[in-house]
Amino acid sequence: MPSTDRRNGHSPDLGMDPPNGALDASAAQEPVEAHDSTGAARQGLADRVVEQIQAYDVISLDVFDTLVLRAVSAPTDVFALVKLTLLASRDALFHPEVMQTFPTLRVRAERIARSEKLDRQGSSEVTFDEIYATFAALSGATPDLVSLFKQTELDLETRLAYPNPLAKRIWSAALAANKKVVFCSDMYLPGDFVASLLHKCGCDRYDGIYVSCEHGCTKHDGTLFAYVARELGVPLDRILHIGDNKTSDFIRAKHAGCGAIHLRRSPTGNQIVIPDPREGSSHAAAVLSLIQGIIRKRASHGDPADRDPLERIGYNAFGPLLTGFLLWLTAMVERYPPDKILLFARDTYLINKYLRRFLGPAGEGVGIQYVYVSRGAILIPSMTDFSLPRLWHLFSGKCKRTVAYHLRKLGLAPELLTHIIQSAGYESMDDLVENSEPRMHGLLRRLHSLLLQESARQRPLVRRYLKQFVDGARRLTVVDVGWAGNMQGSFLRVLEPLPADLTVRGYYVGLYRTARENDYLGHSMAGWLTHYGDPRGLEEKIWWSGGVELLEFTMCAPHGTTLGYKTNEAGEVEPVLEDSPAEDAANFLRARLQEGAEAFVNDYLELYSTVPAAAFTSSLWANEFYRLVSAPTKGEAELLGDITHSDSAGPTGSRLPIAPRSGKRDQAGIAKDLERAYWKAGFRVRNGRKQSPKRTNRRLP
């Protein structure tokens, strides 16, 4: 259980001491690393500890953070999760001040309760009930509210608890060797609750549970070890105590006369944090703790993703991001309930798999449909007016292509437009077009009437396809990964005239500031991580620097892009999907990233599916993704650098690696390749342009 008392906290150097290969329980040895990074290292450590226990009659194990772990990064983070869990409850409406200050008051109540008991009885060991009695006096909370806090804390502790495989193997080996096994904990909860957690973790056999609050003695002052020895009738030197706290479990046990082994917890990796002014610090800390706790839980059990680094990246970076977006999307749906939710192919593939589970009761009666659309398939049909900025999105890309290529993509025949092409400054339709080239702007203006005619020709078929998803809806939600709002803008324009009572809300991972060009009166768009370019700077540092390409690659469906539409034999309109060998190769890598991402989502749902989505809505779910984009390791850059991205809207046959190895040796040549690379930081790391920044708690401006 979490405790604010220093005796239950971790010593400052915990996890920092160098491990010692020798295990000498009769002399003060260096701490042993408990959670090594590989399964092989954990196995070797367990073997060494099992050998050591043979020399003792009684094996004493610490409980919390030794045998019982929690899916949070720090014990007291449970208090913040209690608050977040209850914020959406009816009680929060009637007691907002108590609810908001609960984590602070809970810490203060324990400290005061200990101090007062020390003055009265000479011992600071308090019970759970005594702490909450002090909490009630401090907060003025009603008995019913206090009971709600207590039960929620206990429920979370139970839900978050899981066994440490290393310590559990030691427990099992001690039983197999016919040793007496006891559990010793400096804790304010009664032994029966501790027993229930041990039961959940599969540790039902033992000879005693000794909890400090029930016996008035502690590991921290060394008196609990003597108490256990008297209770069991064995000398202190026949007891081997094993635990994670260097002071209480190792030093104090040695001073008391016991053998002792210190099992260190592995440190939590630091992350780059991009602050969001919309979030309070306590909420942010709780969300980060939740994420790190889930990742640590997976790692402690030797997750198969450890054998596939791509799955591990999917788990650590893309899994939290996908979870965070689904939580935010769920909160939006709860706030503005729709009749239907349309998921735009093909970057909503994973969202489609999990949205119903996240929505829960909020999704009852709501139709969720996956709609095959793409920029290349619906942008031209949506040109009900001539908007050059909207049209220009079809010409983005890093590869030069001919005038003829671009005109054919617009549905025009370049062979019939030779004079107009030349009047725009091109010699022929075979001239290559630079990105954002002024001559192409001029050519498109000259062709605006033909483009509007082609748009009108294509529109009826596209409209028939899209209309089937809209009919009968008054409140419609559309979902995509986002960026410039082209899909939603095109969708609405193709469906013109729109029903007067129809309202469309679009929800996206991010929206560029240029999405304003696609605003449609009476309807709305909202971005989770960036909303029309806010927070400022994130668009350039993350999305334009490889974030878009990495995210779209991972979120993408295994089917081809939508090239257009056709009428089948039954007279129904159906999508025409691309069948590209290049996509087959991409899908092999993508599946491994997605497997990891889905594993994280499933682990989250196992722990928190009953918690209201609004409680955990935060941009910090993207934290590790931000780190991956802006400060990848060498290994990550090598693994992901050759992932390819389609260079423009339409067929994906032309794919470019996002951070290739440069074939240039001169600095100028490498700099030019860097400019062309999608993933800037990945390119720098792969090509030795700049060392990957160390993982620190630095904040990006």
Confidence of residue 386 (pLDDT cuts 50, 70, 90): low
pLDDT score of 691: 44
pLDDT score of 42: 61
141-192 pLDDT, tens per residue?
999 999 999 999 999 999 999 999 989 999 999 999 999 999 999 999 999 9
Confidence of residue 393 (pLDDT cuts 50, 70, 90): low
Q: How high is the mean pLDDT of the chain?
A: 85
Sequence-distant contacts of 199-202: CB under 8 A, at least 24 apart: 200/158, 200/161, 201/67, 201/68, 201/161, 201/162, 201/163, 201/168, 202/163, 202/168
pLDDT score of 239: 97
Of the candidates 473, 472, 482, 552, the residue with the CA atom closest to the CA atom of residue 329? 482
Superfamily of domain 17-66+165-264: HAD superfamily/HAD-like (3.40.50.1000)
For tokens 């026949």, name the residue.
238
533-577 pLDDT, tens per residue?
898 889 999 999 999 999 999 999 999 999 999 999 999 999 999
483-506 pLDDT, tens per residue?
999 999 999 999 999 998 999 999
pTM, 2 dp: 0.84
424-465 pLDDT, tens per residue?
899 999 998 877 678 888 888 888 889 889 999 999 999 999
Q: Region 342-356: what's the mean pLDDT?
A: 96
pLDDT score of 654: 67
- Please check the confidence at residue 1 and state whether its pLDDT lies above 60: no
User: Taking the CA atoms of the chain, what radius of gyration do you get in angstroms?
Assistant: 30
pLDDT score of 445: 84
Contact yes or no for 479/351 (Cβ under 8 A): yes
**SS3 label, residue 327:** helix
Contact yes or no for 603/354 (Cβ under 8 A): no
* Residue 639, C-beta contacts closer than 8 angstroms, at least 6 positions apart: 309, 310, 313
- Please check the confidence at residue 85 and state whether its pLDDT lies above 50: yes
Confidence of residue 267 (pLDDT cuts 50, 70, 90): low
pLDDT score of 394: 59
For the record, the structure tokens of 622 come out as: 């993207």
Q: What are phi and psi of 12, to 5 degrees?
A: -60, -30
